[in-house]
Structure 1
């Protein structure tokens, strides 16, 4: 193979790989919640795009140090996880049905259970309920 052909093939392969990576990076659905006395309130209408495309969304609020990942387990059941690694406190990333720590590689399932170390503690998990037309994440009742 000539050098020119090799470089052309390599550039095409890299371009295809970058296109896939860019699509993956933009596939998160972020929701800004309203902070109420006991937790976070999210209008169900904001979740419709997430329901149609994926089984999770990420909740942010300016008063929270870390975001909260909310996984939809079925049509009316959700689990909310604090996106801070239990190992050394790095912010986690969603990868499919799990959360991954970019710092040291710890992995957690969508229920917050450690599936790969070095972390040994599960993630903080918050109760989620649906009240009327809102999804409520109760920040008072965190559990590991």
Structure 2
């Protein structure tokens, strides 16, 4: 391989590496939960976080809730123990729909990043995400919209 080919190959690899990384990290499937709406609350069964296989049960870190009451989906994220955080997947910078992955939310439009509690990690966004109060009982998670 001559010098020119080598530099060209390295350039293509450097440009292609971030795209390959994004594609591989986005392979995690997004699960949209079943839910019902009662008055001003979205009711999501706790079982929506379960992944039941023949001999074992594992749990999702998050589920998405897509309701006609909001213009954007809501991500319901399971934190330590039995705590859940519901965040509107709308970037506070310019209103783009956020992506979920790697334990954070990221904006595909301008690169803002938020933690799973909705706090800004990286700008240009300078406001935290809209979050909703959540409560749980033995069977359900309740997301209070208003």
Normalised by the length of structure 2, the TM-score is: 0.75
1:89 counterpart = 2:79 = no
Which whole-Å CA distance do the structure 2 matches of 1:116 and 1:46 have between them? 31
The alignment covers a number of residue pairs equal to 129
**Cα–Cα, structure 1 residues 54 and 106, in superposed 2: closer, same or farther, change >3 Å?**
same
Counterpart contact for 2:63–2:76, Cα < 8 Å: yes
Q: Which runs of 5+ in 1 are unaligned?
A: 2-13
**Cα–Cα, structure 1 residues 32 and 60, in superposed 2: closer, same or farther, change >3 Å?**
farther
Which whole-Å CA distance do the structure 2 matches of 1:43 and 1:124 have between them? 22
Q: Which 4+ stretches in 1 moved above 3 angstroms?
A: 20-26
Q: Deviations 1:107-144 (Å, cap 9, x if unpaired)? A: 0001111011000000011111112311101111xxxx
Counterpart contact for 1:108–1:116, Cα < 8 Å: yes
Higher helix share: 1
Which whole-Å CA distance do the structure 2 matches of 1:58 and 1:111 have between them? 15
1:32 counterpart = 2:34 = yes
Which whole-Å CA distance do the structure 2 matches of 1:54 and 1:134 have between them? 15
Aligned residue in 1 for 2:51? 49
1:128 counterpart = 2:119 = no
Q: Deviations 1:53-75 (Å, cap 9, x if unpaired)? A: 53111111233211011111123
Normalised by the length of structure 1, the TM-score is: 0.76
